[in-house]
Structure 1
């Protein structure tokens, strides 16, 4: 009887199917261009503008898939911190280590920063190239005009999003002897950043606090998503051979013991 049941199960052909999903995308090239001048130490963001920008940039990077992302930092000069890469762990580690003492040159060289980012991206063959420029000041250093740099980037089909960080007017910076917040004046050249975004066929954003900055990066993340293509594979494994083997084994065992003393003993 057991042999018969094994054969019946084998004829039912039991199977196990595993579905595997592979995702891939052509990806986008994104260059983050971040201001690290002294004014980024102002505290209208918590704990300051730079740390808030770094944290938001890391969250943005970790939310991407298949894109190459690079990093340029600048103050009175520009420095390419990381080339376009898909090694997000390396990139986020580099961003977390960004500090004000990484550059000696003072000021805000927006034109030089855009030029440095363009130089990193100009030979890229991706269908979409995006630059995200984040600054809280006006161009007062470097030897490249920001508008000319934006036109050069546009010639290489690089789309530019600009983010103005901070507020105009009096903003907190440190505390006095009695622990009260000290206020200093902050000035931001919004006009130039708007013009850069217009030339670069992107958008201008104004971030006045941590939440606004986070929302801006979320919006850019949505606007610059590459289509993710899924490929599904099914792996099927048959198990009927196991049941057929044991069914045949029990059947032959039954035949072997059918006319033996052991079988007659059981019948008696």
Structure 2
């Protein structure tokens, strides 16, 4: 609650510049009438001066001496002017609006399946394919909001490294610890990885379930066909994005005795991963260097955004009655003083 709501109407805080600036004014056009108020009193004085009856009175010179106390007779007029100006202020309707915005989102469930087979040590990426993939995965997690993310790693076998979670610090620590020695069996079990992903996500109640599978080769291990695994994932409503990393042709792999990079022939078969993406209703990507891999994850990040819902509440408080109370007070005071010796009764 605004602290000024607790202030009584008769405090001078209501006339402080900071208080007046904090208001929004519903009808600011009424402020033009403030200029008319003093003009009204000038016209009123001129009419009285020229049209009121004048009574000649003989007084001595010493009685004509001016005194500052004579100005007191102007006090009732000043109070009436203040009352009118405060009425104009009340008509402008000072308000304070407290707008509250509530946002919420229904997160997406995302499983990242990462190939850690020996071929991911190839250095056509900097420093190698696996480290480049880990870096973009870490950056991808940074950009998510309230999404549950899990990790699956695979080589000759596949296992779940992290369940679906919103503990992003835990996920980052798991990703940093990924290495080639985590799975003893050699090969690339893409089908098995897809099956582990499906098993992790099959009981998910999220409206959007996504798998991002990253590999650099063909399915050479495991006892589950990748296409069959993709069809099973699709049956559970899992959208599949597949990413093939690596260049074709001669690529650096390790170093020789003299520290020079060994060059080996590398071939990439996109057919299986492309078909898996088609079945899973996602998209297939090919990344041949670090920048291309960053762009791939950036595209997926844009595609899979949770819908953010927003509700706005406006709480408007009126304060016109404060200035109206001041106006009434000054008006009553004017009526009181108008009937006392302070007024110039000869003017009425």
Q: TM-score, normalised by structure 1?
A: 0.81
More strand by share: 1
Distance 2:316 2:184 in 1: 63
CA, structure 1 residues 231+171, in 2 after alignment: closer, same or farther (shift >3 Å)?
same
Of structures 1 and 2, the larger Rg is shown by 2
CA shift for structure 1 position 14: 8.3
Q: 2:299 is matched with which residue?
A: 219
2:128 to 20, 41, 48: 48
Q: 1:256 is matched with which residue?
A: none
Distance 1:19 1:92 in 2: 37
CA shift for structure 1 position 21: 3.1
Q: 1:47-100 CA distances to partner (integer Å, 9 max, x unpaired)?
A: 111111011011111111122111111001001011111122211221111111
1:82-161 mapped onto 2 (5 Å cutoff): 82-161=162-241
SS in 2 for 1:101: coil
Distance 1:18 1:58 in 2: 39
Q: 1:106-161 CA distances to partner (integer Å, 9 max, x unpaired)?
A: 11000000000000011111111111110001111111111111111111111111
Q: 1:4 is matched with which residue?
A: none
Unaligned segments of structure 1, at least 5 residues: 1-8, 241-268
- Could you say which structure has the greater relative contact order, defined with CA pairs below 8 angstroms and 6 or more residues apart? 1
| Corresponding residue pairs, total | 262
1:233-252 mapped onto 2 (5 Å cutoff): 233=313
Unaligned segments of structure 2, at least 5 residues: 1-88, 321-348
Pairwise CA RMSD: 3.3
Q: 1:28-61 CA distances to partner (integer Å, 9 max, x unpaired)?
A: 1111111011111111111111111011011111
Distance 1:190 1:224 in 2: 23
Q: 1:182 is matched with which residue?
A: 262
More helix by share: 2
1:192-211 mapped onto 2 (5 Å cutoff): 192-211=272-291
